[in-house]
Chain A
Amino acid sequence: MNTSIKTLLFLAGAAMAMALSALALSAETTLNAVRIRYMGPILDANLPEWKKARPVAVPMLPQMVATPRHLNPVVRELKVRAAHNGHWVGVLIEWKDPTQNDRIVLDQFGDMVAVEFPIGAGKDALPNPMMGNPGGRVNILQWRAAFQHDIDAGEPQLRDLYPNAMVDLYPDQVLRATDARPYTGALGVDNPVSRPTASPVLDQMAEGFGTMTVKPDQRADGRGVWEKGVWRVVITAPMATGNPNSPHFIPGDKTVVAFAVWDGGNREVGSRKAWSAWVPLALAR
C-alpha cells in the first residue's frame, strides 16, 4: 500500500476511533470483570458464576474505513460478560445468529468473534480500536466456529466436505512424509488458520490494517456453543504471560476492550465485518 493511502487510512481510522471512544465512554457501559473462584482457564459458558457478571450490550458497527468492506453486516449487538480468577480473564460473548456456519468451502464462510485488548498502552494513548496503528499494538483473540467444529467433531476429510467425491490416492499415501509435504500447501508450512492447534482461539497481534499476525506462543483458549439460534462463546487468556506482546491484567485495574464479529452466512470475512469501539473494562480486585 502506498504511503499516502496508509496515512489517509490511519487518519480516518484515528478520527473515527476518537469519536467512537468518546461515544463508548459517554454511554457508561463499563464491562466489569467479576472475580470468580473457579480456577484455571474460564471455558464454560454455563458456569453459575457468570450470573454475577452484569452483561453489557455492545453496539456493533460495519467496518467502513478499510477496503474491502461489507456494507451490511448482520450482527448489530453483542451481549458481553467478563470474569477473572486472578490468573485467567474470560469473556462470555452472546449473539443471535440463526445459522451455524462452521463448514469452510469456497462459497461458505465461518462464523467468528474476536476480543481485542491494547498492549502496553496507557489510558491516554490508546491504540486505534480498529486493529491498532503503527506503534499502537493490540492483542486480538479470535474464536472460529470452524476450529470449534474441528475440535468437537474432528477435522473434515474430503467426504465430509463433498460426500460423493472420488479420489484414487494422495501423495501422502504413497510417499514418505517429507516427500509428500510439498503437496500439502498451507498445512505443510504450518499456516495457523488452516487448523486449530489445541484451541479454537487464535492469539494474535496487530498494529494496523493488514498486519494481523498469529503469535508463536498460543496461550488463549475458548469454547463456543451454538444453540437455538444463539452463539455463546467464551474466550479466555492468562492475565500475565511475561510476553511483552500480550496484555498484562492486574486485579483492580481499568483498561479497555473491543470486539469484532463475522457472520459467515452473510459472507463476512477479513475486513468485511462488524466491530465495536473501545469499551471500558474494569477488573475486580
Chain B
Amino acid sequence: MPKVYNWQIGREMEYPYDGARPQKQFAMIFDINKCIACQTCTVACKTTWTAGRGQEAMFWNNVETKPYGYYPLGWDVNILSKLGVQDMSSPIYKGKTLFEAAPEGERVLGYLPEDLDYAHPNIGEDDSTGLMAQGAFLQLPHMQWMFYLARICNHCTYAACLGACPRQSIYKRPEDGIVLLDQGRCRGYRECVKGCPYKKVYFNPFTRVSEKCIGCYPAVENGRQTQCTITCIGKIRLQGFIKTPDKAREDSPLDYIIHVAKIALPLYPQLGLEPNTYYIPPVHVPPQYLRQMFGWGVEQAIARYRQAKEDKKLLGALLLFGATSEIIHYYKLEGNYSIGYDESGVELARVPLREPIMLRPVYDDRHQTYRSNIT
C-alpha cells in the first residue's frame, strides 16, 4: 500500500491510493459546548436532501447524545472495539490506523451494521452517565455528564469509503475536497458502508445503491455555507476551508481555531482518515473520555477555550460562527469588531467582540409598569 502523510496523527500511514490533497479542503468546526440537540440541522438536511423513497431512516446530518446515543447503534464503540486498545500516549500516534489494521483480503478494518441499527436515531437522548445518589441536589459542575455530538460526513482527506470501494465510485473533488459518491457508477456492494468508521455512508434499499452527505456542494460552489450550518440556531457551526498545518493562515478563522489556537480537534483521529470536521470539546466532560474521542491535546484545548475572552483573535474567530450564510475565508479585528470576508475580500459580517450594554429604567412610564428585564 502507498504511504501518505496524516498530520493529525503526526506520521506517515498506509492508504490504498497515493496521497493527493485538494486545492481547497472543505471543513467544519462544531462548538459542542453550544449545542442543545434541537435537531434543526438534522431537519434542514433531511428536507433539503433526503426526503425521497428509500431515505426514510437516512440522516446525513444527525445529533446524538454522548456517551449513550449512537446513530447507527453503537457505531463508535463497535469500531473502537474491533480496532482494540491502541497507544495514544504521544502526539505521534503509535497505534494502528484502520488501514493498517485491515484483515487479510480487506482494504480497511470495518463492519457492516445491521439494518435495524438505523431504526432509532435518537436512542440514548439526554441519558447521563452514572446514577444519582440518594439526596442528590443541583451542583455545578454537575455530578453526571453527557453532551451532544452533531455529525456529518467528515469529507476525510484519506476517506475509508473511497479506499474501500472496489470500483472507484467514490471520489474526492480536487476543487474543494468534498467526497462524493457517483450515483450512476455505484453498484451497491456496501463496501463503503462497511469501511466508513463514522457510518456516514448509507444504503438506500429503494435505489439499491449507497448515498452520502454531499457537503451541500451546490451551495459551497456558490460561496454559501451548508444547510446544517446556516440553519443552526445555536450558532455552533462554522463551515469553510482548512489548510494543512504547515500552510495555516492566521487570517482564516478555521485555520486560526484549529491550527493556531488548537482548540478544535478531529473526531477519532486515531482511525487514520484525517477527518475534516473539528470539535471544540465539551468543557465539563472527563478528559480521559475526550482523549479517546478527539485525540492528543484535549486538556490544552479546553484550557485555552476557557480563556477565549482574553484572546481577542480567538474570540473574534469564534464570534463569526453563525454570523453569515456565506463562507468566510478571511477575518480581521478592527477595534471592537471582528470582520469576516469572502474569498475576494468583500465584507460578509461585522460582529462586536463585546455587545454594548443597554440599561433601561426599571419603571416604564409609558406603560406604567415595572420591567423584569432591564438589559
B182-239 interface (Cβ within 8 A of A): 183-184, 186-191, 193, 203-209, 211
Q: Smallest CB-CB separation from A181: which chain B residue?
A: B52
A187-217 interface (Cβ within 8 A of B): 187-191, 193-194, 209-212
- Assess whether B115 is in contact with A183, with CB atoms less than 8 Å apart: no
Minimum Cβ distance to chain A for residue B209 (Å)? 4
Minimum Cβ distance to chain B for residue A141 (Å)? 15
Cβ of B334 within 8 Å of any chain A Cβ, yes or no, is no
Q: Smallest CB-CB separation from A64: which chain B residue?
A: B105
Cβ of B118 within 8 Å of any chain A Cβ, yes or no, is yes
Cβ of B90 within 8 Å of any chain A Cβ, yes or no, is no
Q: Smallest CB-CB separation from A70: which chain B residue?
A: B105
- Assess whether B187 is in contact with A270, with CB atoms less than 8 Å apart: yes
- Assess whether A270 is in contact with B2, with CB atoms less than 8 Å apart: no
Q: What is the 8 Å Cβ interface bit string for chain A, positions 150-187, against chain B (1 contact, 0 not)? A: 00000010100110010100111000000010011111
- Assess whether A71 is in contact with B105, with CB atoms less than 8 Å apart: yes
User: Do A171 and B167 contact each other (CB < 8 Å), given the known contacts A184-B207, A187-B207, A269-B190?
Assistant: no
- Assess whether B115 is in contact with A186, with CB atoms less than 8 Å apart: no
Cβ of A255 within 8 Å of any chain B Cβ, yes or no, is no
Minimum Cβ distance to chain B for residue A73 (Å)? 12
A-B contacts at CB below 8 angstroms, number:
124
Give chain B residues whose Cβ lies under 8 Å from the Cβ of A194: 207-209
Stretch at the interface among A45-53, A85-93, A105-113, A222-230: A105-113
User: Do A105 and B166 contact each other (CB < 8 Å), given the known contacts A158-B56, A158-B206, A185-B211?
Assistant: no
A99-138 interface (Cβ within 8 A of B): 104-108
Stretch at the interface among B23-31, B73-81, B106-114, B277-285: B106-114
Give chain B residues whose Cβ lies under 8 Å from the Cβ of A14: none
Which of B54, B114, B209 counts the most A-chain CB atoms under 10 A from its CB?
B54
Interface of A is mostly: loop
Interface of B is mostly: loop
User: Do A191 and B209 contact each other (CB < 8 Å), given the known contacts A269-B190, A270-B166?
Assistant: yes
- Assess whether B105 is in contact with A193, with CB atoms less than 8 Å apart: no
Minimum Cβ distance to chain A for residue B314 (Å)? 40
Minimum Cβ distance to chain B for residue A12 (Å)? 13
Cβ of A69 within 8 Å of any chain B Cβ, yes or no, is yes
- Assess whether A106 is in contact with B205, with CB atoms less than 8 Å apart: yes
Cβ of A27 within 8 Å of any chain B Cβ, yes or no, is no
Q: What is the 8 Å Cβ interface bit string for chain A, positions 242-275, against chain B (1 contact, 0 not)? A: 0000000000000000000000000101110000
Give chain A residues whose Cβ lies under 8 Å from the Cβ of B205: 104-106, 156, 161
- Assess whether A193 is in contact with B209, with CB atoms less than 8 Å apart: yes
For chain B, the count of residues having a C-beta within 8 Å of the partner chain is 40
Cβ of A67 within 8 Å of any chain B Cβ, yes or no, is yes
Contacting residue for A209 out of B52, B164, B166, CB 8 A: B166
Cβ of B17 within 8 Å of any chain A Cβ, yes or no, is yes
Contacting residue for B51 out of A161, A171, A212, CB 8 A: A171
Give chain A residues whose Cβ lies under 8 Å from the Cβ of B112: 106-107, 267
Cβ of B87 within 8 Å of any chain A Cβ, yes or no, is no
Interface size on A, as a range, is 35 or more
Cβ of A43 within 8 Å of any chain B Cβ, yes or no, is no
Q: What is the 8 Å Cβ interface bit string for chain B, positions 10-28, against chain A (1 contact, 0 not)? A: 0000001110000000000
Give chain A residues whose Cβ lies under 8 Å from the Cβ of B107: 67-68
Cβ of B129 within 8 Å of any chain A Cβ, yes or no, is no
Cβ of A78 within 8 Å of any chain B Cβ, yes or no, is no
List 23 A-B residue pairs with CB atoms under 8 Å apart, sorted by A's residue number. A2-B17, A68-B106, A69-B106, A70-B105, A104-B188, A105-B115, A106-B203, A106-B205, A158-B206, A167-B56, A170-B52, A185-B54, A186-B209, A188-B183, A189-B183, A191-B184, A191-B186, A193-B188, A193-B208, A193-B209, A194-B207, A269-B189, A270-B191
Besides A106-B114, A210-B166, 15 new A-B residue pairs in contact (Cβ under 8 A), listed by A number: A2-B17, A67-B166, A68-B106, A105-B115, A106-B113, A106-B203, A107-B113, A107-B114, A107-B115, A158-B206, A170-B51, A185-B183, A191-B209, A194-B209, A210-B168
